[in-house]
Amino acid sequence: MAPELTKPAPYFEGTAVVNGAFKTIKLTDYAGKYVVLFFYPLDFTFVCPTEIIAFSDRVEEFKRINCEVIACSTDSHFSHLAWINTSRKDGGIGKMNIPVLADKSGKISRDYGVYEEKQGIAFRGLFIIDEKGRLRQITINDLPVGRSVDETLRLVQALQFTDKNGEVCPAGWKPGDKTMKPDVQGSKEYFKNT
């Protein structure tokens, strides 16, 4: 069964590399926080390190808004550690500021609907889970196209804003931009001033 928006996120538990060591992490560890869980195809590849490094380098921006970021692939935790312990100039990703979760069996990838059976790898799925454990955003890219940290951060901020304020965020909304009330009059007021 594919994951559904606004429904509970599929539970996950597994071994991750966290601060250079192996650690069991699970979805419930992040109760009360937003989570960006993103899947990538393989360690030691080409587009994958650009995404993982970008999210890792900017994780403090997510933490400031009560959001954690987790990377996941079907590689083993040993492969993850080797990749982390390899310098960026030598094809590795270097020190990581985010957990890198191993899904060797493919169970987590299957539960999230991103498992590519033929190759045994995950598509580039990105899931935003809210502080109540509900799926709020699902994006799945084909293998050759990476994701945007800026857009992911914007989506988390927009979801948090709408939850707190009850208003909706128009296309391209960023914190500080105008929003609208979710009714006919609110829409008219928004477009009157744009």
Rg of the chain over all Cα atoms, to the nearest angstrom: 18
Beta-sheet pairing, 13-18 with 21-26 = antiparallel
Among 48, 67, 72, 169, the one annotated catalytic: 48
CA torsion through residues 160, 107, 14, 120, sign: negative
Beta-sheet pairing, 121-122 with 34-39 = unpaired
**Is 169 a known active-site residue?**
no
Nearest to 80 by CA among 36, 117, 49, 109: 49
Between CA 153 and CA 81 the distance in angstroms is 26
Between CA 65 and CA 157 the distance in angstroms is 8
Q: How far is CA 49 from CA 18, 76, 183, in A?
A: 17, 16, 43
Q: List, by residue number, the catalytic residues.
A: 48
